[in-house]
Amino acid sequence: MAKVLASLKHKQKGQGIVEYALLLAFVVALAMFLNTGGGLKDSVVAVFDDVANLLGGYRTYSEYYGDWHSLSYNDLSAQSNKDRIKADQEGLQKLVQNLIGLNKEDALTELKKLMPNATDTEVNPNGQGDSQVLTLLSTYDHYYDTPNNPYITLGADTQNAAVNYLSDQQATTYRDSSRMKSKDRVFFSDDMINSTSQRTVTAQLHYENGKVASVDVVAHIGNANSTTYAEGLNMSVTGSGKKDYTVK
């Protein structure tokens, strides 16, 4: 009996080594394939990201916001920029995802939660089914005394609505003279926080059969006419879930 058990144990150990070797070979082959820019690269990476997010418990924008909204610049910079870009992607998606599937009238009602002064003309589709380009939010990073004590100056007081929407009413905002400010960060990635320059978030609605089929949402470094975009934040949102947006 002891010999049988020893033989079985040895066999199982051998199988484990073989399985490990096969798995290692697969990983190496896959890495080589991805590095060659194979046609399935993006799909495979997306699947791996989804699995990693599932196993790791993917966090929503609000959860990132709760962790990071009041961090100093130095402490925030210690976090992976890849994760911070992902948080900002979630933030941009959050701003526009509820517009998907709405007709023009309902889209305007939803949009007014972000832009109280939004008009019918701005959301009305042209002959190609596109709305005007809408400025959802314009911000400047400023500081009290040092870069470790941040606050945000909004481009207009009415844009406080977008900050409240983005932060689930968690942001602390206040009025200073004619401007509205927030003591909390609303974006986190390097391109959105690494200087005091203007950052502008715009959106354009695209209609199909009378309903919003997708929304292009872009974070510009500069004003709405700037063609310099924050890394990973030139997006087309086509649905209400993480898997439904694509980063251009």
pLDDT score at 225: 94
- The string of DSSP codes covering 151-189 is EEEESSGGGHHHHHHHTTT---EEEETTEEEESS-S--S
Residues 6+ apart with CB under 8 A from 166: 61, 65, 91, 94, 95, 137, 186
Pick 168 or 191 by higher pLDDT. Answer: 191
pLDDT score at 147: 58
Task: Inform me whether the pLDDT recorded for 176 exceeds 60.
Answer: yes
Q: What is the side-by-side order of every strand in the sheet holding 211-221?
A: 173-176, 179-182, 150-154, 134-143, 198-208, 211-221, 229-237, 245-247
Residue linked to tokens 């200087």: 195
pLDDT score at 4: 44
Task: Inform me whether the pLDDT recorded for 33 exceeds 50.
Answer: yes
> How far apart (Å, rounded) are the C-alpha atoms in residues 126 and 22?
56
pLDDT score at 36: 56
pLDDT score at 48: 54
pLDDT category at 215 given cuts 50, 70, 90 is very high
3-state SS assignment for residue 99? helix
* Mean pLDDT to the nearest integer, 117-145: 90
Task: Inform me whether the pLDDT recorded for 236 exceeds 60.
Answer: yes
The pTM for the full model equals 0.74
pLDDT category at 194 given cuts 50, 70, 90 is confident
3-state SS assignment for residue 73? helix
Task: Inform me whether the pLDDT recorded for 242 exceeds 50.
Answer: no
Residue linked to tokens 């409240």: 164
